[in-house]
Structures are given as structure tokens and as C-alpha cells.
Amino acid sequence: MERLLLPCLLMGLLLTTSPVAWSQPVDPAEIAKQEVEAALRLAPNIENGRRVYMVCTVCHTPEGWGRPDGRYPQIAGQIA
């Protein structure tokens, strides 16, 4: 039984270790750039945007300035 323990542990490590860990590191700025470029290629969905806006305005107010008491934070004017 003990003779099988180490090989099984090693096999488990090999199977569960991501190949990404072996690849070269990726620049976070490059990832962000790719995400922005992908988002800009999306087709707008006006009706879905209206629904999302209506949900958000309930708490954050229609202008996005949040509640004066701070219960809901400001989402307008933030730099992304």
C-alpha cells in the first residue's frame, strides 16, 4: 500500500496542475487590452441595457450618484 502512495500522489499532482502554470507569464495590461478590444466588438443590446439600467437606478439613483447616506455607493463618474 505504501509503495503505491507516492506514485499516486505524483500522478494526482500531474493531472491537477494547470498547464498555464508551465507557460510564460502573461502581462496583465495585455489581458486588459484584449478584454477591452473584445468588448468593443460586441453588438449593443439596447433592450437589455434598459433593463439593467432600471435595476441599477433603484438603489444607485437614475444619475448614478448613490444614496446620500452611503448605503449604496456612487457609480457615476468613476474611472474604469
- Mean pLDDT within 17-33: 76
pLDDT at 44: 92
59 is a domain residue: yes
Work out the percent of the chain whose per-residue pLDDT is above 90: 45
Q: Is 4 part of any domain? A: no
Which percentage of the chain shows pLDDT scores above 70? 74
| Per-residue pLDDT at 21 exceeds 90 | no
Model pTM?
0.46
Closest CA to 71 of 62, 61, 80: 61
Flag whether 58 is in a domain.
yes
Q: How many structural domains comprise the chain?
A: 1
Owning domain of residue 50: 46-80
Higher pLDDT, 23 or 58: 58
